[in-house]
């Protein structure tokens, strides 16, 4: 999918004869090769979910391409990690369930970092200060503070702040400061996500339902029809109960 037009520009079907992780990497490999070498596409940015095989492939074969991770998938991964706090550290887990503040903070950090990966990590990890009721601090000689408005006494009293020396705080800190998460955050600095691609997948399921076994040729032709449907309707807007250009 082209990020500017949200149209599907090409696709690749690979028969399942290997591990799913290798399958995705192989499909990605052959498709990018085709776009660059056969169709002379100039790919500046490539957006995927967190996939080690694809990340290694792009880093080694196409280092000139900016590889970004989908913010939604990063947020989903964070939610799974936080779920582990549910029973043992309920006070820490409440920061996940209360208006989903930690996931919203991740989205906000990505959206406001201005393409700076280091600033994104700094903004995201600053939530550890906020949850312990510290809203202004010094970082590398620079005075920094939370970006929210000053909290009144009512807000300060109703928040379930976590003491920075408590087990709950350290459990949450281990998740927020996980090396693999912070490394992956560097690939979310441009705040790109796949919401339009998810819409296409919903359209595609109408033509290639998972409960029906299709032969390769059938899958190929139905995929083309799904793409034509998506590309034709992508610029339409909903007026009342009708889609119009």
Q: How far apart are CA 152 and CA 210, in angstroms?
A: 52
Q: Are 160 and 67 in contact (CB under 8 A)?
A: no
User: From the CA atom positions of the chain, what is the Rg in Å?
Assistant: 22
The full DSSP string for 223-242 is: HHHHHHHHHHHTT-EEETTE
Using the predicted structure, report yes or no on whether residue 13 has a pLDDT greater than 90.
no
Q: Are 165 and 132 in contact (CB under 8 A)?
A: no
- Residue 196 tokens read as 């339009």
Q: What is the DSSP letter of 111?
A: H
Q: How far apart are CA 14 and CA 92, in angstroms?
A: 43
Secondary structure tally for the chain: helices H, strands E: 12, 6
Q: Are 176 and 111 in contact (CB under 8 A)?
A: no
Q: Higher-confidence residue: 18 or 123?
A: 123
Closest CA to 121 of 81, 84, 88, 74: 74
Q: How far apart are CA 78 and CA 70, in angstroms?
A: 13
At 240 the pLDDT is 60
Tens digit of pLDDT for each residue in 64-79? 999 999 888 888 888 8
Q: Are 189 and 117 in contact (CB under 8 A)?
A: yes
Q: What is the DSSP letter of 142?
A: E
Closest CA to 71 of 197, 183, 189: 189
Q: How far apart are CA 207 and CA 211, in angstroms?
A: 11
Q: Give the least confident one: 42-46, 97-101, 190-194, 197-201.
A: 97-101
Q: How far apart are CA 82 and CA 89, in angstroms?
A: 10
Mean residue pLDDT of the chain comes to: 84
- Residue 77 tokens read as 């991964």
* Average pLDDT estimate for 30-53: 87
């Amino acid at each position: 999918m082209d990020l500017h037009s949200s149209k599907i520009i090409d696709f690749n079907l690979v028969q399942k004869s290997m591990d799913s992780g290798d399958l995705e990497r192989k499909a990605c490999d052959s498709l990018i090769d085709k776009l660059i070498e056969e169709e002379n596409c100039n790919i500046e940015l490539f957006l995927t979910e967190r996939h080690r095989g694809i990340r290694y492939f792009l880093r080694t074969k196409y280092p000139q391409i900016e590889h970004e991770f989908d913010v939604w998938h990063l947020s989903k991964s964070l939610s799974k990690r936080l779920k582990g706090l549910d029973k043992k550290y309920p006070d820490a887990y409440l920061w996940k369930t209360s208006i989903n503040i930690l996931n919203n903070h991740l989205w906000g950090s990505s959206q406001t970092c201005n393409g700076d990966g280091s600033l994104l990590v700094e903004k995201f990890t600053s939530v550890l200060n906020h949850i312990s009721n510290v809203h202004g601090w010094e970082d590398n000689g620079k005075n920094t503070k939370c970006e929210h408005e000053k909290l009144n006494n009512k807000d300060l009293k109703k928040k379930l702040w976590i003491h920075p020396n408590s087990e709950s705080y350290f459990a949450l800190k281990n998740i927020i400061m996980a090396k693999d998460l912070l490394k992956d955050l560097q690939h979310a600095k441009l705040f790109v996500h796949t919401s339009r691609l998810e819409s296409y997948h919903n359209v595609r399921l109408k033509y290639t339902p998972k409960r029906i076994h299709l032969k390769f040729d059938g899958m190929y032709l139905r995929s083309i029809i799904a793409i034509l449907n998506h590309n034709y309707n992508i610029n339409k807007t909903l007026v009342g109960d009708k889609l119009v250009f």
